[in-house]
Structure 1
Amino acid sequence: MRPIVITLSFFLVVLQYRLWIGEGSFAQHQSVREQIAERVQDNRTLQARNDALAAKVIALQQGRSEGLYGLPAVEEYARQELGMIRKDETFFYMPD
């Protein structure tokens, strides 16, 4: 009877070690859950950014941007976002 108790005690200690400290432990499980939550939040932020960019692309393809239509919408975007000017325009830099 004594060898059975010792063997069962040994297995209990090994299983408890794995449960609390080893691979697949509660601490590791919690760490993975936190990483998943962070990645989900990052994905939501990136998805919102992608949606905004897709809407801007569609607006420029359809020629609508901030009340402007057609080529003026594309020109306005090129001026504001890309810093471009026409051939016949003069660029003035005014520091704040």
Structure 2
Amino acid sequence: MKILASVLFFLLIVLQAQLWFGSHGVFQLWSLQRTTEGLRVKNNDLTHRNERLHAEVKELRQGKEALEERARSHLGFIKDGEKFYRIIPANPTTESSP
């Protein structure tokens, strides 16, 4: 009877060790859940970024005003017939002395 109890106790220890520390154990499950949650957050951020970019592309395809504004602000384009004035701020070290 003691041998049977010892064998059953040994099996219990082995099965518990596999449950907690095995390749498909509880610690592995917790690690995968943390990784999955991190990837889910990253996917949500990328999805929102893609939606914003898609809206911007749609706006640029449909409206010439948005395209023109973007070309003017980022690339410095000037329309025909417009005059361009560049204002250079005064540098206090190079001002003329009286």
**TM-score, normalised to structure 2's length?**
0.69
Q: CA separation in 1, counterparts of 2:2 and 2:46?
A: 61
Equivalenced residues, count: 86
User: Cα distance 1:91–1:45, how it changes in 2: closer, same or farther (>3 A)?
Assistant: farther
Q: Distance in 1 between the 2:32 and 2:38 partners? A: 10
The 3 A distance-change label for structure 1 pair 39 and 92 is: farther
CA displacement at 1:61 relative to structure 2: 0.4
Q: CA, structure 1 residues 93+14, in 2 after alignment: closer, same or farther (shift >3 Å)?
A: farther
* Higher strand fraction (1 or 2): 1
**Corresponding residue number in structure 1 for 2:30:** 30
Q: 1: distance between equivalents of 2:56 and 2:49?
A: 11
Equivalent residue number for residue 48 of structure 1: 48
Q: 1:77 aligns with which of 67, 70, 78?
A: 70
**CA deviation map 1:8-32 (0-9, x unaligned):** 2222111110112221221111111
One-letter code aligned to 1:77 = R
Which secondary structure state, in structure 2, belongs to the residue aligned with residue 24 of structure 1? Answer: coil
**Bigger-Rg structure (1/2):** 2
TM-score where L is the length of structure 1: 0.71
CA contact (8 A) 2:71 2:77 kept: no
- Unaligned regions of 5+ residues in structure 2, if any? 90-98
The residue identity in structure 2 corresponding to 1:84 is: L
Moved more, 25-34 or 54-63: 25-34
Between the two structures, name the one with larger relative contact order (CA 8 Å, sep ≥ 6).
1
Deviation >4 Å, runs of 4+:
87-95
